[in-house]
């Protein structure tokens, strides 16, 4: 036993396929997308968010005072007012918009005390690794904004639906291997799982992740790849938590739920991930579940200059 | 090149310095003294920038990549800077996509077994007349020359197995010549096994497998020349894509300039024996197999 461990160390570590800060390459068409992320995380996809998340939005007591006007003010602030130049840059306005909307939601705290038990964290390093078949996979990186809370999120799906997922078959990508387009790195410490925070942190449970588009023009992600990145990092957070609580290779009795929101400043993608099992080595069995709502537009456009066609003002600027 | 000549002459001058001193008079006591001889033996310092040319250094990448690379045009000039081939120059900028001509390239861990790949997209390549296809299989993607009816989503097979029965090949698949039935149209022929294809790569071309003779195969190239190669050489089946390439009409002089073709001299010149239609017998068949020589001793 000891000799084999030593030999692994001496050989320079194992090769591992990794999603380091979701370094997914462009150029790939049908590859490297949501389908691949679903295979890697052994999950099944459901379009549309679960009803118990969307239904409270219609109830008036969950809404803000002058909600429409305040949201429009938030959009205007982000898109028009927050700069000395004619128009703010995309990474700046998407960041401002996200923080404004988060602030608006936080003003509901008097009626919803649970909001007070959450805190925002930025630039934390996530590390999660798992085995899938013969290969070792890992998710690493600093992905951005995280809402962490003192209490875990309640599960979305009941036991019966979770058992039903074991009948679903994962998609096959033949002849392409599902590990295409992932970076190969050497790892020297296997089974690293770190949720980004130390023991004793008062807000240990990951609640919602917020993804913005990276300002790096070289690694611009297409919408499919952006959603895949969201899935991988949400999964990484849930897995790190599960490994800490329950260890590896087991079906979870209390599934771990993590949410995610991704935006490019105008279009939003919403994601809810329920981790049902950490037993990811085989392709069959209970799957994890992903609810994905794609391409929700907050507003159609925010024009800085009025659009004039044939001497008629078609779109006025809303100042 | 010029820099190398310069350094070589400088080196030879310094080496010959002791010989010169000994041949001269022994008036100089010290060897290292500055000798004002006829040949000025000072080590000059370089006043120009690097004289190396980056002509082909842009091609020096050791790892295969599908990303298009910026290319440097030569304009028909060779390493001395003079025009070697007339009529080349200008034209639209082109990015080079590294086409993998060795179709039978196994992935590092999966040697020896026939494999399949999926065509992701077929696109225009500015560097050649044929279209290229991005294929993905296993854990890697590469560019290959597309055949006539290749479309995105097709699955193409590559195999090195020569069975007793000839394989009924689909277009786009790659097999050794020994495994194909006589009379198939082939392209991307390699004449030495494992070297990569060097023949029949232009748009719309195809060769014909004429006969198979104990361990070798005879293929007719598009110029009607026949070659004899080993039967383990890999070829792809079908015609190369973009078959209407020779039917296109340039239309105007500007289009030729976009392609990088400079105008020829407009001066009327008397044509010699090279011009006009020639009717000759076919050259003898070229054989690329190294047969053991049948020599008496």
| Per-residue model confidence as pLDDT tens digits over A220-276 | 778 888 888 889 888 988 888 888 888 777 788 888 889 999 988 888 999 999 988
Q: Strand A135-142 and strand A125-132: pairing? A: antiparallel
A308, pLDDT greater than 70: yes
A175 vs B contacts (CB less than 8 Å) = 115-118, 136-138, 155
| Per-residue model confidence as pLDDT tens digits over B121-149 | 999 999 999 999 999 988 889 999 999 99
pLDDT top residue among A137 and A290: A290
Three-state secondary-structure class, residue A105: helix
B28, pLDDT greater than 50: no
Tokens linked to B193 = 């096994």
Tokens linked to A155 = 């599960």
Q: Which CATH number fits domain B99-245+281-287: 3.80.30.20, 2.30.30.30, 3.10.310.10, 2.60.120.10?
A: 2.30.30.30
B93/chain A closest Cα distance in angstroms: 21
How many Cβ pairs within 8 Å bridge chains A and B?
34
B221, pLDDT greater than 50: yes
Least confident of A133-147, B5-19, B282-296: B5-19
A188, pLDDT greater than 80: yes
b/e map A200-210, b = 16+ CB within 10 Å? eeebbbbbbbb
Burial of residue A25, with CB atoms counted within 10 A of its CB: 0-12 exposed, 13-18 middle, 19 or more buried = middle
B141 vs A contacts (CB less than 8 Å) = 28, 31, 180
Under the banding of pLDDT at 50, 70 and 90, the label for residue A300 is confident
> Do residues B131 and B123 touch, judged by C-beta distance below 8 A?
yes
A271/A211 Cα distance (integer angstroms): 11
pLDDT at position A2 is 40
Range(s) within chain B of domains with CATH label 2.30.30.30: 99-245+281-287
pLDDT at position A190 is 72
| Per-residue model confidence as pLDDT tens digits over B36-78 | 444 556 677 766 665 556 567 777 888 898 889 888 888 888 8
Superfamily of the domain at B48-97: Nucleic acid-binding proteins (2.40.50.140)
Report chain B residues touching chain A, CB-CB < 8 A.
66-67, 115-118, 120-121, 134, 136-141, 152, 155
> Do residues A236 and A272 touch, judged by C-beta distance below 8 A?
no
pLDDT at position A5 is 37
Tokens linked to B128 = 């050649």
Under the banding of pLDDT at 50, 70 and 90, the label for residue A12 is very low
pLDDT at position B217 is 93
B139 vs A contacts (CB less than 8 Å) = 177, 179-180
| Per-residue model confidence as pLDDT tens digits over B177-216 | 999 999 999 999 998 998 999 999 999 999 999 999 988 9
B141/A175 Cα distance (integer angstroms): 12
pLDDT top residue among A14 and B254: B254
Least confident of A7-11, A145-149, B16-20: A7-11
pLDDT top residue among A277 and B158: B158
B137/chain A closest Cα distance in angstroms: 4
Alpha helices in chain B (DSSP H): 2-15, 17-23, 253-258
- Whose CA is closest to A18, among A97, A117, A128, A94? A128
Q: Edge-to-edge strands of the sheet including A135-142?
A: A125-132, A135-142, A14-20, A183-187
A179 vs B contacts (CB less than 8 Å) = 139
Burial of residue A290, with CB atoms counted within 10 A of its CB: 0-12 exposed, 13-18 middle, 19 or more buried = buried
Question: Over pLDDT 90: what percentage of chain B?
Answer: 57
| Per-residue model confidence as pLDDT tens digits over B84-113 | 999 999 999 999 999 999 999 998 888 888
How does DSSP classify residue B26?
T
- Whose CA is closest to B212, among B197, B231, B195? B231
Q: What is the pTM of this model?
A: 0.79
pLDDT at position B10 is 59
A31 vs B contacts (CB less than 8 Å) = 120, 136, 141
A27, pLDDT greater than 70: no
- Whose CA is closest to B146, among B157, B134, B135, B132? B132
A127/A131 Cα distance (integer angstroms): 14
**Among the partner residues A27, A175, A179, nearest to B117 by beta-carbon distance:** A175
Q: Which residues contact A15 (CB under 8 A, 6 or more apart)?
A: A136, A184, A185, A186, A187
A306, pLDDT greater than 80: no
- Whose CA is closest to A64, among A29, A139, A115, A16? A115
A44, pLDDT greater than 60: yes
pLDDT at position B183 is 93
Kindly state the average pLDDT of the residues B258-267: 92
**Among the partner residues B67, B116, B139, nearest to A180 by beta-carbon distance:** B139
pLDDT at position A302 is 80
B34, pLDDT greater than 80: no
pLDDT at position B248 is 94
pLDDT at position A63 is 80
Q: Give counts: helices (H), strands (E), chain A.
A: 7, 13
Instruction: Give the torsion through C-alpha atoms of B97, B103, B105, B111, to 10 deg.
Output: 150
Least confident of A91-105, A244-258, B221-235: A244-258
**Among the partner residues B120, B138, B155, nearest to A177 by beta-carbon distance:** B138
In chain B, the residue whose alpha carbon lies closest to the alpha carbon of A182 is B139
> Do residues B126 and B68 touch, judged by C-beta distance below 8 A?
no
Mean pLDDT of chain B: 84
């Amino acid at each position: 036993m000891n000799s084999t461990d030593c030999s692994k160390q001496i050989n320079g570590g194992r090769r591992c396929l990794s999603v380091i800060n979701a370094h997914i390459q462009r150029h790939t068409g049908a590859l490297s997308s949501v389908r691949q992320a679903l295979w890697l995380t052994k999950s099944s996809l459901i379009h549309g968010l679960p009803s118990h998340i969307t239904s409270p939005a219609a109830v008036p007591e969950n809404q803000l005072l002058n909600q429409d006007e305040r949201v429009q003010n938030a959009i205007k602030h982000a898109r028009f007012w927050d700069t000395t130049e004619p128009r703010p840059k995309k990474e700046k306005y998407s960041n401002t918009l996200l923080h404004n909307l988060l602030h608006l939601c936080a003003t509901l705290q008097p009626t919803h005390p649970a909001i007070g038990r959450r805190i925002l964290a930025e630039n934390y390093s996530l590390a999660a690794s798992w085995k899938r078949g013969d290969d070792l996979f890992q998710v690493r990186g600093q992905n951005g904004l995280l809402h962490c809370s003192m209490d875990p999120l309640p599960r979305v799906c009941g036991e019966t639906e979770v058992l039903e997922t074991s009948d679903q078959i994962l998609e096959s990508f033949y002849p392409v291997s599902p590990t295409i387009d992932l970076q190969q790195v050497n790892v020297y410490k296997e089974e690293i799982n770190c949720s980004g925070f130390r023991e004793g942190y008062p807000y240990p449970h990951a609640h919602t992740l917020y993804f913005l588009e990276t300002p790096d023009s070289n690694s611009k992600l297409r919408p499919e790849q952006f959603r895949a990145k969201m899935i991988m990092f949400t999964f990484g957070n849930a897995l790190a938590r599960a490994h800490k609580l329950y260890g590896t290779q087991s079906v979870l009795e209390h599934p771990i739920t993590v949410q995610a929101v991704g935006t490019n400043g105008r279009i939003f993608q919403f994601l809810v991930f329920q981790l049902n099992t950490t037993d990811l080595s085989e392709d069959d069995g209970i799957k994890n579940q992903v609810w994905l709502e794609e391409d929700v537009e907050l507003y159609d456009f925010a024009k800085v200059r009025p659009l004039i066609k044939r001497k008629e003002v078609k779109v006025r600027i809303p100042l | 090149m010029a820099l190398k000549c310069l350094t070589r002459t400088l080196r030879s001058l310094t080496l010959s310095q002791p010989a010169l001193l000994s041949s001269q008079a022994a008036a100089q006591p010290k060897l290292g003294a500055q000798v004002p001889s006829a040949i000025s033996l000072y080590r000059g310092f370089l006043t120009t920038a690097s004289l190396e040319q980056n002509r082909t250094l842009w091609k020096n990448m050791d790892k295969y990549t599908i990303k298009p690379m910026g290319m440097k045009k030569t304009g028909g000039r060779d390493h001395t800077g003079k025009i070697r081939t007339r009529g080349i120059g200008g034209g639209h900028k082109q990015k080079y996509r590294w086409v993998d001509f060795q179709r039978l390239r196994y992935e590092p861990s999966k040697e020896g077994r026939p494999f399949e790949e999926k065509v992701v997209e077929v696109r225009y390549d500015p560097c050649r007349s044929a279209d290229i296809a991005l294929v993905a299989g296993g854990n890697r993607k590469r560019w290959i020359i597309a055949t006539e009816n290749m479309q995105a989503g097709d699955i193409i097979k590559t195999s090195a197995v020569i069975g007793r029965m000839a394989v009924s090949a689909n277009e786009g698949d790659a097999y050794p010549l020994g495994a194909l039935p006589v009379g198939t149209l082939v392209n991307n022929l390699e004449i030495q096994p494992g070297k990569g294809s060097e023949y029949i790569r232009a748009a719309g071309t195809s060769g014909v497998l004429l006969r198979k003779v104990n361990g070798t195969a005879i293929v007719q190239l598009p110029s009607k020349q026949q070659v004899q190669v080993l039967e383990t050489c890999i070829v792809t089946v079908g015609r190369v894509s973009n078959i209407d390439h020779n039917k296109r009409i340039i239309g105007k002089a500007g289009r030729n300039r976009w392609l990088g073709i400079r105008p020829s001299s407009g001066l009327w010149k008397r044509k010699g024996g090279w011009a006009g239609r020639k009717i000759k017998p076919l050259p003898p068949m070229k054989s690329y197999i190294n047969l053991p020589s049948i020599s008496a001793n």
